[in-house]
Structures are given as structure tokens and as C-alpha cells.
Structure 1
Amino acid sequence: MGGILQVRVSAWTFDEKEVSKRWPSLTSLVWEDGTFITPARGVMELAEAVQTACHAELIDKKKVEALEDKAKTAHDTLQKLRASLADWQPQEADKLTYALEDNLDALEDIAAKF
């Protein structure tokens, strides 16, 4: 890195509309039905919101019970993704982005049954 020009390794959701298209039941549950509000509604924010909604019981207790194990897995994957980005490990981060999306797919399957 230079004194003025900095190099960063980061990840973000390119189009937040795609999040609600891919995980409609899950986004509705935590961002519309629940009380968890966040200005950004990307993939990483969804994983964080599901974990928060379960942990703080911002959604119905039966829904929490159904989601909480997978929500923790998604949150753990998110933390690993953040760590890999902080450690400048883009290849590992890339693998974890797919794993995080798979975690959210599993959560969507559960949420779609509510």
C-alpha cells in the first residue's frame, strides 16, 4: 500500500434486489414481519439479521426454534468470511461466499414453510 492509495479486500452485495428475489420468505420474515431494521439489505446483512432476530427473539418463538441452528451456522460462516477478508485471503473468502449463500438457501427452505 502506498501512503495515499490503499488496497482493500472486501465483499458486498452487488444488487440488493436480488437478495429478496432469492430468499423472499427469509427477507420478509426478518425485515418485514420482524422488528429488525437495517438500512443495507445485502447477503451479509441478511445473515446478520436472521441471527439477531433469532437471538433477540424478534420473531415468533416457534420460528426461532426452527431457524436458530441454521442461523448460527450462517452467522459463523459470515464471521469466517469477514476474518478471511481482514486477513487478505480472497480465495478463502470466495469459497465462504458460496457457503454463506448455501446457508441462506437452507434457511429460506425453513422460512418458506411458515
Structure 2
Amino acid sequence: MGQVLQIRVMAQTYDESEVEKKWPHLVESAWQLPQPPGLPHGVLELVDDLKGRLDLGMMSADMTENLSETVREAYNLKVRLEKALGDWKASEANTISYDLEDVLSAAERIAAKIKDR
């Protein structure tokens, strides 16, 4: 790293519309639709906002009961991902990113069942 030029390793959602396509029930649970422009609405923001709504009691009782464990697992993976990136462990972060997406997909299946009741 130079004295002026900083090198960063980061994770960012390439196409935010894919988040809504892949996890529509989670997106609906986390954000107002349509989403306001100018704010990032990627994978990591989805995890943060789901955890925030869970912690603040802003989810229905049914969603809280059925999703709390999975949302917390996703949040813990997000924290691990950010730590791996901070430690310049891109390969580890890449592995965690797949685990995080898998957990979000599991949460989506749970949310879909709840919404379909």
C-alpha cells in the first residue's frame, strides 16, 4: 500500500435487482417497496436490515419465531465475511459468501411458507 493510495478488499452486490429476484419475501420483510433510490440495497444491506428489524421487534410474531435463528446466522456470517476481508483473506471471504447466500435462501423458503399461510 502506498502512502496515498489505499488498497481495499471488499464485497459488494454487483446487481441489486438480483437480490429482489432471489429473495423477494426477505426483501419485502426488510424494505419498503419500491425501494427509495440512492441507498444501497445489496446482500449485506439486506442482512443488516433484517437483523435490525428483528432486534427492534418490527417483524410479525410468526416471522420472528420462525426466522430469528436464520437471520442471526446470516448476520454472523456477514460479520465473519467482513472480518475475513479486513484480514485480506479473500479466499475465506469467498467461501463465506456462498454460505451466506445459502442461509439467505433457507430464510427465503421459511418466509415464503409463512407468507403463503
Do both share a fold (TM > 0.5)? yes
Map residues 35-54 of structure 1 onto 2, 5 A cutoff.
39-54=39-54
Aligned to 1:16: 16
Partner of 1:110: helix, strand, or coil?
helix
Q: CA deviation at 1:15?
A: 0.8
Summarize deviations over 1:55-87 as a string: whole Å, max 9, x none: 111111221111000001000000000100111
Map residues 103-114 of structure 1 onto 2, 5 A cutoff.
103-113=103-113, 114=115
Partner of 2:63: helix, strand, or coil?
helix
Letter in 2 for 1:92: E
Partner of 1:80: helix, strand, or coil?
helix
TM-score (norm 1): 0.91
Q: CA deviation at 1:39?
A: 2.1
CA distance in 1, matches of 2:66, 2:21: 22
Would you say 1:55 and 2:65 are equivalent positions?
no
List structure 1 runs of 4+ shifted beyond 6 angstroms: none
Uncovered stretches (5+) of structure 1, i.e. residues with no partner = none
Letter in 2 for 1:18: E
The percent identity for this pair of structures is 37
TM-score (norm 2): 0.89
Letter in 2 for 1:88: W
- Please tell me the root mean square deviation across aligned C-alpha atoms, in Å: 1.4
Partner of 1:46: helix, strand, or coil?
helix
